[in-house]
């Protein structure tokens, strides 16, 4: 299934189940998003596009800065960690009831909006701690490797997401891409 087909199916579910949520946005927010210049991170369509940006960044990281208390190396390693866990299994899972209801709805909304919002300085539940002094190039290298490993993995080998439950490979690509893009909203400059 192509990303556009997936988004169309998600849109139908979203429209039926979450119509009141659509009214929450204001005209001011909509006009702001239409006029703002998006970064290349936000324009990326998938993990492949993000990988290209990471390779370019890896060559020159000197001016790369993020707002918040997490250093860029930690952010990239955190994003890699999420992809790695989709391959080997997450250390802690939300209940199956949560994953089958709230988690699925949240993912559908994120996919429909093509935008994720999550706690940008919250570790993955049960995940090993990532040092805040992780070198940026080490974090980028780990994320590139995780993307490469993901791209080589068969869909049948993927493990359920800790919050969204069972995802296809395409859905996981969307989830991981939105996760990285959400963190890259903090790029300064």
134: its two tokens: 């992780």
Read off the pTM. 0.81
Q: So what's the pLDDT on residue 37? A: 58
Predicted pLDDT at 35: 36
pLDDT at 8: 44
Contact 186, 66 (CB under 8 A): yes
- Report d(CA 57, CA 150) in Å as an integer: 20
pLDDT at 123: 96
- Report pLDDT for 173: 97
Contact 171, 107 (CB under 8 A): yes
pLDDT averaged per 10 residues, the chain (length 189): 50 40 38 56 95 95 93 97 98 96 95 92 96 96 98 97 97 97 90
Instruction: For the chain, give every domain's residue range.
Output: 3-14+46-184
Angle among Cα 11, 39, 172 to the nearest 5 degrees reads: 40
Work out the number of other CB atoms within 10 angstroms of the CB of residue 115.
14
DSSP strands (E only) in 98-144 = none
66: helix, strand or coil: strand
């Amino acid at each position: 299934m192509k990303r556009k087909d997936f988004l169309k199916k998600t849109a139908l579910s979203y429209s039926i189940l979450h119509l009141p949520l659509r009214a929450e946005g204001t005209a001011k927010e909509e006009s702001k998003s239409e006029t703002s210049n998006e970064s290349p991170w936000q324009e990326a369509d998938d993990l492949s596009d993000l990988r290209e940006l990471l390779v370019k960044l890896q060559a020159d990281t000197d001016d790369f800065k993020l707002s918040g208390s997490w250093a860029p190396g930690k952010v990239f390693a955190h994003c890699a960690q999420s992809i790695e866990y989709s391959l080997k299994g997450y250390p802690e899972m939300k209940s199956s009831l949560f994953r089958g209801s709230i988690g699925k709805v949240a993912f559908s909304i994120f996919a429909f909006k093509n935008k994720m919002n999550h706690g940008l300085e919250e570790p993955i539940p049960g995940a090993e701690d990532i040092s805040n002094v992780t070198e940026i190039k080490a974090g980028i290298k780990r994320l590139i490797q995780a993307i490469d490993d993901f791209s080589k993995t068969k869909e049948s080998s993927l493990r359920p997401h800790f919050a969204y439950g069972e995802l296809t490979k395409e859905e996981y690509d969307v989830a991981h891409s939105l996760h990285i893009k959400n963190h890259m909203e903090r790029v300064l400059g």
